Amino acid sequence: MIKDPRITRFRKMLAQATNYEQWKAAALELDFLEGNAEWKEDFASDLYHYELIYDRLSNLKQYRQQNDFERLKRALREGLHHDLGNMGNPALYTRSRVGTKHLIEEYITQVCESLDYLCDHPVPGFPVYDKLQFFRDTLTSYGRPTLLLSGGASLGMFHFGVIKALWEKGLLPQVIAGSSIGAIIAGILGVHTDAEIPEMLVPESHNLKAWKWRGLLSAMRGTGLMDQDTLRRCLRENIGDYTFEEAYQRTGRSINISVSPVQAHQKARLLCGYTSPYLLVWSAALASAAVPGIFPPVTLMKKDLNGNSLPYMPRLKFVDGSVVSDLPIERLMHLYDVNFTIVSQTNPHVVPFLTDRGQDEKLSLTNLPSHLLKSEVQFHGQGVFDYLRKRVRPEILRQLSGQMYTIMAQRYSGDVTIAPNYSLRHFRRMLANPSPEYVREMILEGERATWPKISMIRSHARISKTLERCVRRLKQQNRRAAELKLVSGDTPARP
């Protein structure tokens, strides 16, 4: 079979794209040439319950056309479920580079338009306060997405590219979590408003001097290979002296930072506005980045009533969040009703073992040996370190074995996992201060890795984002209504 030369040309354009519009244009051409456009138009498939989606879509259209607000409201409230009819099946997003079945896209569009319609139009017997409660309840039951940023030292500059790609498409989640370098970037993002994100993505706007070697003698004394004061100055300059509560009030983003315990009888903690509202974000990021042996453990800092900084639980110290909880998915589900996880994974010991969800049907027998090898290494590694952490002496070896066990036993992927393709050049820069050119290079790598995932992320996140926007608009309407009521109540009626 003769290969169409246009396919080679568009694949080259795809690999060399410098923005999403270029990438999408090439991807759409490839979808057409490879027959994926017809696949998207044919809504029938055994990959999802297309009859259910079709019926739901027809009902929503009918209720809107008839202005039947009550039935529309009930249909949205009781029938809006995450992954309805398995329309989030990863296999639906691997056949085509852009988009999926048109039926799914039309259904999601209809849901979002119906939500906006209910939110913005006067509905008899449905005042603003009741609307606000309706949308809050619907958001709670439906859930929301979250973005989790892993560790990975300077390789974590990749996260900025993921953030940029999601933000440009209006898909950046409100809930952001991070550990180690991911905690630093989550902290930076969490104190910047949407209007400030373009400047945040300019490398020259940041202090990039985070690493300063102190040497092996310093590490042997327990003060780490790197100078922690240098990292502290870097974080305070890039994040500022915001608490978790102040950061949320400023940007509306919920920052979540993982830290790991040092002493016995401690548990890993997720620091955020719910659990530690007065804690300084830079302090949490410093602790989460304190890789054992490279940086010493950290005492967290908080603000008191007068705005002064002082130690938070001074008897306790914390280290790198990746050690115990690189991706605190379960905790986020409890705190924020998270139903969909986007993971930007840059840990060098994890990325080689990742496999893309939804690709199982493309696996061949030639991949079986490497798949088995990865599985065996992980399985036996967990067994060895689990045994050692329970039985080995002295104590330092037991603690080290425990840390290795938790590292190997953790989950490192999400519903969508975005990861770089590493080469030797990446590892050479891993423990070096990133230059602006390197940051720009990693941002572009992050964008290119994210663009193929946009369609799946949009299908999962678009309804949640619409609900969040509706809640914000209704809060403003409710506040204005309360202010007007107060003013009218204070003003004496004219005769």
Which helix (H) or strand (E) element contains residue 146? strand 144-149
Query: 265 Cβ partners below 8 Å, 6+ apart?
Result: none
pLDDT value at residue 276: 95
Give how far Cα 72 sits from Cα of 7, 41, 144, 236, Å: 45, 27, 22, 49
354 band by pLDDT with thresholds 50, 70 and 90: confident
Between 275 and 4, name the one with better pLDDT.
275
pLDDT at 201 over 50: yes
Between 268 and 233, name the one with better pLDDT.
233
pLDDT, average across residues 68-87: 89
pLDDT at 325 over 70: no
pLDDT at 13 over 70: yes
323 band by pLDDT with thresholds 50, 70 and 90: low
Using left for φ > 0, alpha for ψ between -120 and 50, and beta otherwise, residue 394 falls in beta
Which helix (H) or strand (E) element contains residue 177? strand 175-178
Return d(Cα 341, Cα 148) in angstroms, integer. Answer: 7
- Supply 21's token pair: 């519009």
Q: What is the longest distance spanned by two Cα atoms in the chain?
A: 90
Return d(Cα 167, Cα 486) in angstroms, integer. Answer: 38
pLDDT value at residue 493: 38
DSSP state of 35: T
- Supply 394's token pair: 């002295």
pLDDT value at residue 293: 83
The CATH fold assigned to 142-353+422-438 is: Cytosolic phospholipase A2 catalytic domain (3.40.1090)
17-44 burial code (b ≥16 CB/10 A, e <16)? beebeebbebbbbbbeeeebeeebeebe
Domain residue spans in the chain? 3-141+453-479, 142-353+422-438, 368-410
Pick the range with the lowest mean pLDDT from 30-34, 219-223, 307-311. Answer: 219-223
Return d(Cα 489, Cα 219) in angstroms, integer. Answer: 68
410 band by pLDDT with thresholds 50, 70 and 90: low
pTM, whole model, 2 decimals?
A: 0.86
Catalytic residue positions, numbered: 180, 320
Return d(Cα 447, Cα 441) in angstroms, integer. Answer: 10
pLDDT digits (tens, 9 = 90+) for 36-53: 999 999 999 999 999 999
pLDDT digits (tens, 9 = 90+) for 161-182: 999 999 999 999 999 999 999 9
pLDDT value at residue 494: 38
pLDDT, average across residues 212-225: 78
Q: What is the mean pLDDT of the chain?
A: 87
pLDDT digits (tens, 9 = 90+) for 116-141: 999 999 888 899 999 999 999 999 99
- Supply 320's token pair: 């790198």
490 band by pLDDT with thresholds 50, 70 and 90: low
pLDDT at 223 over 70: yes
Between 356 and 165, name the one with better pLDDT.
165
Give how far Cα 171 sits from Cα of 176, 179, 457, Å: 12, 21, 8
The helix/strand count (H/E) of the chain reads as 21, 9
363 band by pLDDT with thresholds 50, 70 and 90: very low
DSSP string, 246-311: HHHHHH--EEEEEEEE-STT---EEEETTT-TTBBHHHHHHHHT--BTTB--B--EEE-TTS-EEE
pLDDT at 347 over 80: yes
Return d(Cα 388, Cα 467) in angstroms, integer. Answer: 49
Pick the range with the lowest mean pLDDT from 110-119, 315-324, 387-396. Answer: 387-396
pLDDT value at residue 86: 92
pLDDT at 321 over 90: no
pLDDT value at residue 359: 42
pLDDT at 405 over 60: no
pLDDT, average across residues 17-25: 96
Return d(Cα 399, Cα 388) in angstroms, integer. Answer: 9
